[in-house]
Structures are given as C-alpha cells and as structure tokens.
Amino acid sequence: MPISLHLADDPPPERADAARNRHAVLAAALRLVDHCGVDAVSMDAVATEAGVGKGTLFRRFGSRQGLMAAVLNESETQWQAAVLSGPPPLGPGAPPMGRLLEFGHSRLHLNLTHAALIRAAGRAGARSYAAVSFSAMHVRYLLGELGVRGDIALLATSLLAPLEVPILEQQVNQEGISLARIEAAWDDLVRRVAV
Amino acid sequence: MPISLHLADDPPPERADAARNRHAVLAAALRLVDHCGVDAVSMDAVATEAGVGKGTLFRRFGSRQGLMAAVLNESETQWQAAVLSGPPPLGPGAPPMGRLLEFGHSRLHLNLTHAALIRAAGRAGARSYAAVSFSAMHVRYLLGELGVRGDIALLATSLLAPLEVPILEQQVNQEGISLARIEAAWDDLVRRVAV
DNA sequence: AATAGAAACGGACTGCAGTCCGGTTATGCC
DNA sequence: GGCATAACCGGACTGCAGTCCGTTTCTATT
C-alpha cells in the first residue's frame, strides 16, 4: 500500500535523503542570511552550517544565485498568495485601478526590502521566471480589466521596469528620492498609460 | 619653461608612466574583449597582454567592473556626442518628439549591442553615473520641450527603465519578442506619457 | 532479507577577483 | 646635477565560486 503514487514519471521522484538535505540547506542559508547579511554568506559557510558537502549545494541549486533564488522564493510565494487571494485592495475585490496602484506600492516596498537578496539571486532559476513572470501576468490581467488598448504585454513590462531593484536603489541611495515621491510618480505613470 | 601648467591642484597631475600604462591597459582590454568576448577576459590576461602587473590594473581601475566601465566609456562617449551634436533626428534640429523616439531606438540598439559589456561594467564608476545620468538628463530636457507636466525627472526614469539591458535581454532572448515590436511599444509608451 | 544499480554525497582541486607590501621610478627642490 | 619623497609598479598571497570523481546511501526487485 504505497503512501504516495507517482503517476507521470516525467519528474523523477526526489529521494528521501535529497529532500532532507535540501531542507537543511535552505534552513541553514536562511539562518546565515538573516544573521550575517546576504553578501557575507559563502557557499562553504552554508555547507558547513547545514552539515553537508559543498558538492551537494551545487548539485541541488546549481550556483550561488540559484541558492539565493530558492531562499528568496520562500517570501515571494507568500506575497504571490496575498496578491491572488489576500484582502483587497491588493487581493481580489477592489476595483482594478485600485488593485494596480496597490500592487505597485507593494512590489516597490518588497523590492527594496529584499534588494540585497534579489541582487544575489540575479537572473538564476526563480527570479527572472517566477517573480517577474508572475508580476507581468498579474499586471497584464489588470490592464485588461481596465480596458486598456494596445500591446498589453509590453505595456505591463514598461510599468514594472521602473520598480526593478537597480533603478529603485539608484533613486533612493544615490539621489535621495523619497519613497512617497516614487510612489506618486508611479501612480502618475499608471494613470497616463491606462488611458 | 613648463610645457603644461597645472593650475587647480585638486586633482594631482597624472605621472607620465601612469598615463602610458593606463592607455596600454585600455588598448589591451579592448583587444581581448573584441577577440575573446567579455566574459572570457580575465584580469590576469589583460595584465599580461598589456605588459603590466596585476596590482597596476586594480590601482587604476579599482575592479574588473571599473575596467570594463572604462572600456565601455570609449563607445558611450561617441554616442553621447552624436546625441548632443550629431545629425537629426537623433541630434538637434528635429522636433522634440521625433528626437525622443529616435533616442529611444538608438539607446535600445546600443544596449543590446553592448549588453555583455554593460553587464560586466555593472554599476561601477561610469555606467550608473555617466550613461544613466546623461540619458536621464537628455530625456528630461526633451520632455520639458514637449511641455509635459508632472514629475519630469521620475517620468524620464520611467521611460528609460524598459530600455535597460536585463529587461531587453529577457524580452529578446527568453520571450523571442522582435525588436520592431519593442520599438513600437516604446513609441506607444512615450506618446501616452507625453500627453 | 539480500542484491544490483542508480542517484546522491563530500571534500580535494582549479581558476579568478581582489589585496598587500617590498622594490622602483618619476617629480620637486636645492 | 643630485637628493628626498611620494607615487607607482608588480607579483606572490588569500578567499570564494564552481568542478570532479571515488565512495556512500537509497530504492526497486526478487
């Protein structure tokens, strides 16, 4: 009596020790990142903290960027859930324009909060595919609801681009622009784009 | 009878051997980058090719990013000259909207052409300060000419953001979007923003 | 329960970015 | 022209990302 069946064999099932090690590595990485800051965490340190060999880290996560992307994914998943099914105006229930503006503010703050981690994750594995494509999909949907005409997909990209980490960090750290002003400018941009 | 006077002593004058070495390093780096591609060029290789020690490279350019930024700067300078004083519609003489659209297309192509170098230059020294601030300044100026109302500085940033390398590479390499479509979408964005 | 085979493990190994310090060379002054 | 000083030079050294391969551990089958 098998406890879990494995029907479509495309993804070969993960071995028990592999799963255990993956969780140990993720927990160790999260611990070290919280404690020392992203940039001070080396792969050797994570391996030692997790009690595994270095080869294991690279086998499971491919690279340092991949590991950081996996750590980042923990919080991104929560945020995505809040967008898809949390309370309005971020979640469903509010009018589309209200949701869109709230979405931008929320993403802006999240990008600044996780700036170092997002940078360390680079474009490996999860980020440029999970976070970016989720956000793009959601903005496309809201632009559709608003009845915006034109190349919705690229308009969505254009609205998300000014919220990217390097740009926000330039504005906040180099030019000393306040968050309130950035939010207001983004609201203005959205209103101009959304007819 | 001194050949060159040095009036304001704030920047202490560069020693002759230092200048010679800097040119040798830049020439060697450019040669190697053209020949092997940016990512295959190591600092040791540049030092050997230029016939100097590794310490010299790091003294003059600070980091690999700094060296790549210096290499990049050679072509950026040419482009800036074309924008400021070249033939219209990129240079002065054309109506502002025409210049703005041409500027975007030009920057888009340049960013894709130099994508690897721009990425390697990161946000060191020149890029996030020369190229970005030059572009921002120019777009602010054109938006002013167009009579656009609002937070011109941040609107300029918002227009430039979708032209950044990571976003263009995602669109072109991952999603297979054509350059023509990206150009058209940017034109559309500009027209929506510029009232 | 024993076994065969495949997948995962781990630590020694490589290559590169960046640092450091003793030696060298240019410049300003006498 | 000679000398003192400060800047520059260069290569050996460190630490980390990523690789490789012999060894161990799991799982399916009988």
Tens digits of per-residue pLDDT, B45-87? 999 888 888 888 999 999 999 999 999 998 899 999 999 999 9
Give the confidence band of B111 by pLDDT, cuts at 50, 70, 90.
very high
Contact B87, B145 (CB under 8 A): no
For chain B, the domains span: 12-62, 63-193
User: In Å, how far is A192's CA from the nearest CA of chain B?
Assistant: 6
Tens digits of per-residue pLDDT, B138-191? 999 999 999 999 999 999 999 999 999 999 999 999 899 999 999 999 999 999
Rounded to 5 degrees, what angle do the CA atoms B133, B134, B135 make?
Answer: 90
Taking 50 as the pLDDT cut, the residues of chain A under it are 1-10, 126
Can you give the pLDDT at residue A8? Answer: 44
Size of interface A-B (CB pairs under 8 A): 81
Which of A158, A159, A165 has the highest number of chain B CBs within 10 A, making it the mutation to test binding with B? A158
Can you give the pLDDT at residue B126? Answer: 46
Can you give the pLDDT at residue B114? Answer: 94
Q: Which residue of B has its CA nearest to A166?
A: B123
Tens digits of per-residue pLDDT, B88-103? 999 999 999 999 999 9
For B167, the closest of A157, A170, A186 (CB atoms) is A157
Place of tokens 């919080």: A75
More confident residue, B117 or A123: B117
For B188, the closest of A150, A162, A174 (CB atoms) is A150
Q: Do B151 and A123 touch (CB under 8 A)?
A: no
Q: Do B189 and A132 touch (CB under 8 A)?
A: no
Distance CA B156, CA B125 (A): 22
Q: Do A181 and B151 touch (CB under 8 A)?
A: yes
Query: Which one of 1.10.10.60, 3.40.50.280, 1.20.210.10, 3.40.50.620 gives the CATH number of domain B12-62?
Result: 1.10.10.60
Q: Do A162 and B166 touch (CB under 8 A)?
A: no
Find and list the nucleotides of strand D having atoms within 7 Å of a protein beta carbon: 7-13, 15-21, 25-28
Contact B80, B134 (CB under 8 A): yes
List of chain B residues whose C-beta atoms are within 8 Å of the C-beta of residue A171: 154, 157
Tens digits of per-residue pLDDT, B22-49? 888 999 999 999 999 999 999 999 998 8
Can you give the pLDDT at residue B8? Answer: 44
Superfamily (CATH) of domain A12-61: Homeodomain-like (1.10.10.60)
Can you give the pLDDT at residue B129? Answer: 62
Q: A188 CA, C24 C1': separation in Å?
A: 61
Can you give the pLDDT at residue B1? Answer: 36
User: In Å, how far is B110's CA from the nearest CA of chain A?
Assistant: 18
Can you give the pLDDT at residue A129? Answer: 63
Among candidate residues A93, A193, A89, the one with its CA nearest the CA of residue B191:
A193
**Residue partners of B142: CB distance under 8 A and separation at least 6:** B96, B99, B100, B103
User: In Å, how far is B70's CA from the nearest CA of chain A?
Assistant: 20
